[in-house]
Chain A
Amino acid sequence: MWSGKLVLLLSLLVGTTVWAWDLPEIRANGVLRHLGIPYANFVTGSGDGLDVEMMQLFARHLGVRYEYVETTWADVLGDLLGRRVRFDGKRVEWLDETPVRGDAIANGLTVLPQRQQVLDYSTPTFPSGVWLIARADSSLEPIKPSSDPQADIKATRLLLAECSVLVLSNTCLDPKLHNLEETGATVRELPTIRNLNEMVPALLKGEADTTILDVPDALVALAKWPGQIKVIGPITGTQDMGVGFRKDSPQLREAFDQFFAKINREGIYPRLVRKYYPSVLDYYPDYFKRMTVGQ
């Protein structure tokens, strides 16, 4: 108890100095700060979303107050780590320091190797992947699926050669992650777009021929604009999403994993998934089945 208060006191004194801020400190501070970016149905921006509800439950589980801290894809890592980061390919470039604003990132954060260099991920919480999406009137034809996912990815990438494609850096749709330049596609990143939710409307406006979207977002978009967009094919294989923690918060991550296993066992998490992504449970039945039995 005393140690918790002491840490809190010190952290206030040193200001931006990077200090370990793990579970005891959070408990001592009495608040869990959830870093979120409005994205698909993970964080809707209206105060709810799959990850919002999940983190609220986690805070209650820890016995601390929940606090939502909105951020952007550009600032999200800095807000967690206290220092801004830039990825150059697989290399991590540490930039200037910035205040730590949160304790965990949860908004459908895809598990990517480059992110794993600076973050610790929880156990996977959601399936994902990246698909190539085109307008309905596009001349691009959806690929004919084969039994080999890699062949399907290759077939999709081939189609990009002559196309423009919308991307968003520092996200799972970062062009560098997918080597889109190699396909011969015109990568187009609009400064006006700061949010993944704005990708499809931009596509429909004709800002580009195609866009890439992660699968949960694509499923939402298909239902939202039926007949106006079409899935051409996969850019990646199946990916995972998870909650991101500072590497110096192992106790907090451990606590989350235990909590996540618990809400899966109790059926709370599948209910939340069905609420925000009704099709995904049926779409990835094996994925969630595995999750609920704790594998």
Chain B
Amino acid sequence: MDEWKQRFHQYRSADVAGAFGHILEKWRRRFHQRVRRRSIAIVLAGVSLVVLSIFLLGANYLSQIRLRDVLLEQVRLDTDRDAETLSFFFETARDELNNLTKASEFSAYFANRALGMSMQYGLRSSLLELHRRLEQTVRQNGEAGTVTGLFDWIAFVESPSGLPLARTGFDPPPTTNHWRPPPLPFDPVATGFAFWIPTDREPASVYAVLPYFFKAEYRGYLLAQLDSTTLHARLLAIVDHQNRQFCLVLTDRCLRLLADRSKPAGAVFAVELPAAAFGQPVLLKMDSAMPADGRFYGMAARIRDTPLALATFTPAERISGRAGPEQLLLLTGLLSGIVLLGTFFLWRMDNQNLVLKMHVAEEKRRQEDLAEKNLQLYQLAHHDTLTGLPNRDLLFDRLEHAMVRARRRGGRIALLFLDLDRFKTINDSLGHPVGDQVLQAVARRLRDNIRETDTVARLSGDEFILLLEDIRKSDDAVMVAEKILDLLAQPFSVAGHEMSLSISIGSSLFPEDGETATELIRNADTAMYRAKEGGRNCYQRYQRDLTDQLVERFELERGLRGAAERGEFELYYQPQLSSTENRLVAAEALLRWRHPQFGFVSPGLFIPLAEETGHIHEIGAWVLRAACAQTHAWLQAGLAPPPIAVNISGQQIMRGDLPAIVSAQLTEWDITPEQLELEITETSLMRHSEQSLGILQQLRELGIQLAIDDFGTGYSSMSYMKRFKVNALKIDRSFVEDLPDDEVDCDIARAIIALAHSLGLRVVAEGVETVAQRDFLQAEGCDRMQGYLFGRPVPSKEFERLLKSQAAN
């Protein structure tokens, strides 16, 4: 209590304002440091990101350049190869025309003409042959207008008239007069064989021109139009194969013939191709006036042995992707800028957060103070002010929580109920302040010696409860209890007084001993009282029948009082037979109590109770009297009852008036001492051995037969045995039970019989139930036997019939 008060005062007397200012300053310094460190980290992260993005994009840029070079090289190789392929087409055309001029039809015609022959008489025939030969040449080289044709048509143009002599596709001469060849921009004689694309015609066509000489004299020229369909198809194949946008055949640098799927065959188009484009791809910018809009890689390759070239145009994005190296560089710059900007804003926002963070931190600290105060209030409300231990409320709270947990996990809880022995004496003798200090010392010692998970609470006065959670078995609780008994057995020094304390402990377990906290505490309390009954400074585990026994014991105790007067007692008689003669030689009187509520109550239950409550004297007297009265009655009836054995309690001997009572009864009922035997258990005899000696001696002097009952179950001293002067020993039924099968029991029985005989005592065996037992005992020399084999205990009337039948025999 004082400790709590002290703490409370300290708190209140603190200089709150000063402490707050100090803390605020400390926090501010710490925040400044953190902010500075974070700013540097942010800037470093930003710079790292910029460097990383530049590095990545740079690497990408270089690889893009490499890739572009490779693709451009591919374009160059493809274009060269396609130009070479295309050259075969032109070469074939040239060869065909050369062959044509060597044909006999040409020489025949010009020879006949040179001979002066007229068209009318003979020459026309030669011309027809020549015409037919032209037709044949066109036909032979594939059908004109298909992808396999070589020529659309072939004509022979005479010199110097410039008129066609013959042309395929038209009726033979002289009906070709209306067709006129395109005017040649060059002199065939000077040029020789030539391919030519007229600049002013659309659709554009490629012409082959070959001058013809007869006998070294120029006679005109062959003019052939190359098959436009075939040429267009070949160019389109190149476009498709190379994945180009389009391609062209050009004369010199001016492009003429276009192959583009989006344009009709032979569409004309003109663009100046830079000289650099011959041999390697060059980036060109085209506009809407051109075949396609946008950026292209254009490249031209000469078609061998012709003045023509093949030009291919590949969209730039197919080479360098949609984002070219230049765009990548731009992207790098942009990305770096964004990262830097982001870093700057991050840094600025971080700084602006400083004040807010300080407010938040202060508020947090205030919340923590409040929580601490609440905690203190909670402590005050839930703890015992004297010892600082949890009080009853907190105990109940914890116990219930522990029970919930245990139910969930299937665990167990032990509750130890502690009560200081004779604490009242300390209070009374040394005063309450000392008593309080003792309680505090006990509380400290308990608190210091339990696990953190366990709870020790002060219930009231000198009562403590120890709550043990998560125990595995009930022995754990025993161990703790014994530890506590040892702990408190060590001396205490309180207010100058050295003292030893003892404590009684009762325990209950969850879930075996109760479902609720109240029930568990009550049962532990019950167990604690049992412990106190057991002699204090000990531990008692709660057992459920403790409660039932208490109730029954109370009822029995009440019932015993006056039971004799109410006629609830009755004596039964069990015969004892002589082993040698097999005749009735004695009978044991056995007390039966017929309780109005419980029915027959076992002597084993009510005799100890009677001894404890002191009723044993009253009951013992009744038994003695009843046995004597019955003997008297049978004698009066003319029967010859055997000696009746009556059991005597140790307490009856202890009281010392037993010889007087026995003597009085013998006298009252006019029976001889030989008619009566007294049986005393070995245990009670030995417990009160010194007192017993005199009493037994007096009884012997009266002439009463004495027997030691249940022999073998106690601790008989041979010297006492010698001095007691009894007449008989009764072997306990536990040794008879397993005869003759159990060798140890056989040995014990033999030993007892030998001992008794050596002391001159008679031996009686109890509980004989089988013929084998009887035979064994008989063989070993046992004098008398008693048991179900010979007769159960029976009421007096029935025993009387037995006596009568025996008398008759």
Contacts and interface: CB of A to CB of B under 8 A. Distances in A.
- Give the one of A142, A152, A227 with max B CB within 10 A: A227
Given A143-B118, A278-B129, A283 B112 contact: no
Interface stretch (B120-128, B452-460, B616-624, B705-713): B120-128
Interface stretch (A201-209, A216-224, A247-255): A216-224
Contacts of B104: 223, 226
B512 to A, nearest CB: 127
B115 A230 contact: yes
B128 A282 contact: yes
A136 B122 CA distance: 13
B107 A226 contact: yes
A126 B315 CA distance: 67
B120 A145 contact: yes
A229 B397 CA distance: 145
A227 B112 contact: yes
Given A222-B108, A278-B132, A279-B129, A230 B117 contact: yes
Contacts of B117: 142, 230-231
A283 B126 contact: no
A44 B118 CA distance: 28
A227 B111 contact: yes
A231 B115 CA distance: 9
A201 B125 CA distance: 20
Contacts of B132: 278-279
Interface in B100-138: 104, 107-108, 111-112, 114-126, 128-129, 131-132
B347 to A, nearest CB: 100
A222 B126 contact: yes
Contact of A231 (B107, B121, B131): B121
A142 B121 contact: yes
B172 interface: yes
- Give the one of A218, A230, A234, A283 with max B CB within 10 A: A230
**Binding site secondary structure of chain A:** mixed
A282 B172 contact: yes
Nearest to A141: B116
Contact of B115 (A131, A136, A278): A136
A218 B117 CA distance: 13
A282 B114 CA distance: 22
Nearest to B110: A227
A189 to B, nearest CB: 24
Interface in A266-295: 278-279, 282-283
A234 B128 CA distance: 20
Contacts of A227: 107-108, 111-112, 114-115
A282 B131 CA distance: 11
A91 interface: no
Interface in B252-275: none
Contacts of B123: 231
Contacts of A222: 108, 112, 122, 125-126
B111 A223 contact: no
Nearest to B118: A145
Interface string A139-181: 0011111000000100000000000000000000000000000
Contacts of B129: 223, 278-279
A234 B123 CA distance: 13
Nearest to B131: A282
Contacts of B126: 222-223, 226
Question: How large, as a class, is the contact surface on chain B?
Answer: 20 to 34
Contact of B116 (A218, A230, A279, A283): A230
Nearest to A280: B125
Nearest to A233: B121
Nearest to B115: A230
B125 A223 contact: yes
A223 to B, nearest CB: 6
Contact of B111 (A142, A143, A226, A234): A226
A234 B115 CA distance: 16
Given A142-B115, A278-B129, A283 B124 contact: yes
A279 B126 CA distance: 8
A142 B108 contact: no
A142 B116 contact: yes
Given A222-B112, A223-B108, A230 B122 contact: yes
Nearest to A131: B121
B122 A234 contact: no
Contacts of A141: 116
A131 B122 contact: yes
Contacts of A136: 111, 115
B118 A144 contact: yes
A2 B165 CA distance: 64
A279 B128 contact: yes
A230 B112 contact: yes
A203 B342 CA distance: 110
B124 A234 contact: no
Contacts of A131: 121-122
Given A142-B117, A144-B118, A279 B112 contact: no
A227 B121 CA distance: 15
A289 to B, nearest CB: 13
B151 to A, nearest CB: 21
Contacts of A223: 104, 108, 125-126, 129
- Give the one of A131, A141, A144, A219 with max B CB within 10 A: A219
Nearest to B116: A142
B136 to A, nearest CB: 10
Nearest to B132: A278
Contacts of A144: 118
B100 to A, nearest CB: 16
Nearest to B126: A222
B121 A283 contact: no
A186 B125 CA distance: 29
Nearest to A138: B115
B704 to A, nearest CB: 173
A27 B647 CA distance: 171
A219 B126 CA distance: 8
A234 B117 CA distance: 12
Given A223-B108, A227-B108, A227-B111, A142 B125 contact: no
A290 B120 CA distance: 20
B530 to A, nearest CB: 143
Contacts of B120: 145, 152
A231 B172 CA distance: 21
A186 B734 CA distance: 185
Contacts of A233: 121
Interface string A12-56: 000000000000000000000000000000000000000000000
Contact of B125 (A152, A232, A234, A283): A283
Interface string B319-349: 0000000000000000000000000000000
18 contacts: A136-B111, A145-B119, A145-B121, A152-B120, A222-B125, A223-B104, A223-B108, A223-B129, A226-B111, A226-B112, A227-B107, A231-B117, A231-B118, A231-B121, A279-B128, A279-B129, A279-B132, A283-B124
Q: Closest 4 CB pairs between A and B? A: A226-B108, A227-B111, A231-B122, A230-B115
Given A142-B121, A227-B114, 14 more contacts: A131-B122, A136-B111, A142-B122, A144-B118, A219-B122, A219-B125, A222-B108, A222-B125, A227-B107, A227-B112, A230-B117, A278-B132, A282-B128, A283-B128
Interface of A: 131, 136, 141-145, 152, 218-219, 222-223, 226-227, 230-234, 278-279, 282-283
